[in-house]
Amino acid sequence: MIEVKNLTKNYGPVAAVKGISFTVEKGHIYGFLGPNGAGKSTTMNMITGCLAPTSGEVTISGFDIIDDAVDAKRCIGYLPEIPPLYTDMTPFEMLEFVGRAKKIKKAQLYDEIESVMEKTGILDVADRLIKNLSKGYKQRVGIAVALMGNPDIIILDEPTVGLDPIQIMEVRDLIRELGEEHTVILSSHILQEISAVCDYVIMISKGTIVASDTLENLLSQTGDAKKLKVETIGTEEELRNALADISEISSLSVTEGEKTALVIETDKNSDIREKVILALTGNGHSLLSISEEQASLEDVFVRLAGESLDAGAAYAMEKEAEKQEKLEAKRGKKVKVQSSLGPAYYDEEYIKEEPEAEEAEEEYSPLFSAESEEKEDDEQ
């Protein structure tokens, strides 16, 4: 459905995306995984035609995103990281506006709006101003906008950023439901999100693709060793003696305490759980728990890309600090505040002791009046 060939984007001397290629097939939920600054959003914007590539090709269902932009974009529903919503509209009006822009026939438009609102769970806020909605509902409205026109492909860029845990679970459930009828591409730097929702993963690091495979296959690429975690009772010497005859054990670490923790490393094709249980219980040691350590996407990413998924956040912190220090040197007296990205500097007049009072919910006037509806009926 989507074919990307040698896609590149340069910002001056900086290459944000470096000649990447991959294919998206129908019927999967794809996870586009990488740290902040890896080139995820830039790639999403080029695939959807919102940003022109420096070089390379993107075809959507056989249509070139540059040469056949209108036909290509009909196949895509896109939710950017910041949903492009007109906040003085209601969700109903927003979807009506988008439906008319997409030239959905009037006979079908209102049925589709109702269907999309029901699917995304926003029927109960259909007539409230978008500016008065919570972040979670705004995100749902953004997804509803992407669904208008029933596109084959839904592209979601960081869809759960800024949501609370309950909202995150709700959005993930919604994405799984969308995957039953659409091909979905989900861009994220959150490991749990990709693992929980996606069945195919494309990993990007520093503007290049480092892996592209099913989730199951990627999780099997953690090297030649497998780890077994055991909780029991006994001294290190006693436990080592009890397990000494198991030849498959390549390494054993013991941490003594109220419960003694063992980490047993073996060849990835070996399963020695039964031997370990028999050896420990046969020597009089109680077995409290035993489990195989599951491979994680971060393990795979570190192995393939040689960096942590948090590297982008560290880079952003460093750049933010440099930027704020430069601003401090240029301007007058500043107040230093520690933010999530590191030190930030603000003019004293903007530092307020009391939080601002919440604004009252605003009323709205309809986007389309009865007169405009009658005029449109006459024209049709």
Question: Which pLDDT score, from 0 to 100, does residue 127 have?
Answer: 93
25 and 173 fall within a common domain:
yes
Q: 3-state DSSP call for residue 76?
A: strand
Q: Which residues contact 291 (CB under 8 A, 6 or more apart)?
A: 228, 229
Structural domain containing residue 116:
2-219
53 and 104 fall within a common domain:
yes
Question: How do beta strands 342-347 and 260-267 pair?
Answer: unpaired
Which of 201, 219, 237 is a domain's end point? Answer: 219
Would you say residue 278 lies in a domain?
Answer: yes
Question: Which pLDDT score, from 0 to 100, does residue 359 have?
Answer: 54
188 and 321 fall within a common domain:
no
The total number of structural domains in the chain stands at 3
Which of 186, 219, 252 is a domain's end point? Answer: 219
35 and 174 fall within a common domain:
yes
Would you say residue 179 lies in a domain?
Answer: yes
Q: Which two tokens stand for residue 267?
A: 């060849």
Would you say residue 19 lies in a domain?
Answer: yes
Question: Which pLDDT score, from 0 to 100, does residue 334 have?
Answer: 47
Spans of the chain below 70 pLDDT: 221-225, 294-297, 305-380
Question: Which pLDDT score, from 0 to 100, does residue 18 have?
Answer: 92
Question: Which pLDDT score, from 0 to 100, does residue 189 have?
Answer: 83
Question: Which pLDDT score, from 0 to 100, does residue 340 have?
Answer: 46
12 and 79 fall within a common domain:
yes
191 and 333 fall within a common domain:
no
Q: CATH number of the domain that 264 lies in?
A: 3.30.70.260
133 and 11 fall within a common domain:
yes
380 and 259 fall within a common domain:
no
Question: Which pLDDT score, from 0 to 100, does residue 327 have?
Answer: 52
Would you say residue 84 lies in a domain?
Answer: yes
Q: CATH number of the domain that 156 lies in?
A: 3.40.50.300
Would you say residue 298 lies in a domain?
Answer: no
Return d(Cα 117, Cα 247) in angstroms, integer. Answer: 61
pTM > 0.75: no
Would you say residue 301 lies in a domain?
Answer: no
Would you say residue 159 lies in a domain?
Answer: yes
Question: Which pLDDT score, from 0 to 100, does residue 183 have?
Answer: 92
Q: Which residues contact 76 (CB under 8 A, 6 or more apart)?
A: 47, 48, 60, 151, 153, 154, 155
